[in-house]
Structure 1
Amino acid sequence: MQHDDPPHDDRPLGRSILRGLRCRCPACGEGRVLRGYLKVRDACPACGEDLSHQRADDGPAYLTILIVGHLMIPLMAAFFIAFRPEPWQMIALFGTGSIVLSAALLPLMKGMLVAIQWSRRMHGFGGGDPVHD
């Protein structure tokens, strides 16, 4: 019985996710995906890859909330048990921490979701020749 090799993945998911988390073009890894804080460019300034197909929508916000919540809730509980701070101290510390962490993660999550969509050929990213490394 002959074993067929799986087809070559010209858009590896892992590499694309890492490039997306760096807010770089999933195709070349050089150009910036975002122009401004969260606005996705229409095309990569380095290789010209069309990025206008992306449909990240609310996904980055959901992922950011998920990550921030899973980090902050255990920290809040541990901090409260260890130090018994006043409510205003908890609000000031963890409110500020949540805002800062959310602001830092949101563009990374957007870049990652655009890269995942590109890698899996979603929403019109499937056309054209295999992309260069």
Structure 2
Amino acid sequence: MTHPISNGERDLRSAVLRGLRGRCPSCGQAALFGRFLKPVDHCPACGQRWSGHQADDMPAYLVVLALGHILVPLLVATNMRFDPPMWLEMLMWPGLALILALLLIQPAKGAVIGFQWARRMHGFAGGR
């Protein structure tokens, strides 16, 4: 098992992009997640252990921030242009928020794990 960058500088951009895609931030060869939001214990391709991550609440904060920037302009524009009935809005906006949150949370968590790995934060301070 070889590691692309052993003790040198880790590329932040590629690590975050690999994490966004749900791939190992270290090598990009294997899946980062075994289940929806649970990272695999280690990468089967390069051996990088993922138990040291501390993504915790940051992915949720990023998703809430992104959803606010996506949904609020859509809501305002929809109300100004179409003036939909209240019952439709009460179904549409929470449903859309839930769907988008579920679609964005895993890529956000992968990106946070990739960021932590690239910057050697928390459990990633060692050689790998």
TM-score (norm 2): 0.90
Alpha-carbon shift at residue 96 of structure 1 (Å):
1.2
| Paired letter, 1:126 | A
- Report what 1:54 is aligned to: 53
Tell me, in whole angstroms, the C-alpha distance in 2 between the residues paired with 1:43 and 1:13: 20
Tell me, in whole angstroms, the C-alpha distance in 2 between the residues paired with 1:109 and 1:84: 33
SS at match of 2:115: helix
- Report what 1:5 is aligned to: none
- Report what 2:108 is aligned to: 109
Tell me, in whole angstroms, the C-alpha distance in 2 between the residues paired with 1:30 and 1:10: 19
Structure 2: unaligned runs, 5 residues or longer: 1-7
Tell me, in whole angstroms, the C-alpha distance in 2 between the residues paired with 1:45 and 1:77: 47
| Paired letter, 2:69 | H
Deviations along 1:31-71, one digit per CA (max 9) or x if unpaired, are 11111100111111221111110000011111111101110
| Paired letter, 2:11 | P
- Report what 2:65 is aligned to: 66
Deviations along 1:90-128, one digit per CA (max 9) or x if unpaired, are 121121111110000000000000000000000021212
| Paired letter, 2:27 | C
- Report what 1:10 is aligned to: 9
After the TM superposition, which segments of 4 or more aligned residues of structure 1 sit over 3 Å from their partners?
none
- Report what 2:76 is aligned to: 77
Identity %: 42
Deviations along 1:3-23, one digit per CA (max 9) or x if unpaired, are xxxxxx631111111101001
Structure 1: unaligned runs, 5 residues or longer: 1-8
- Report what 1:87 is aligned to: 86
Larger Rg: 1
Number of matched pairs: 121
SS at match of 2:124: coil
TM-score (norm 1): 0.87
Root-mean-square deviation over aligned CA pairs: 1.1
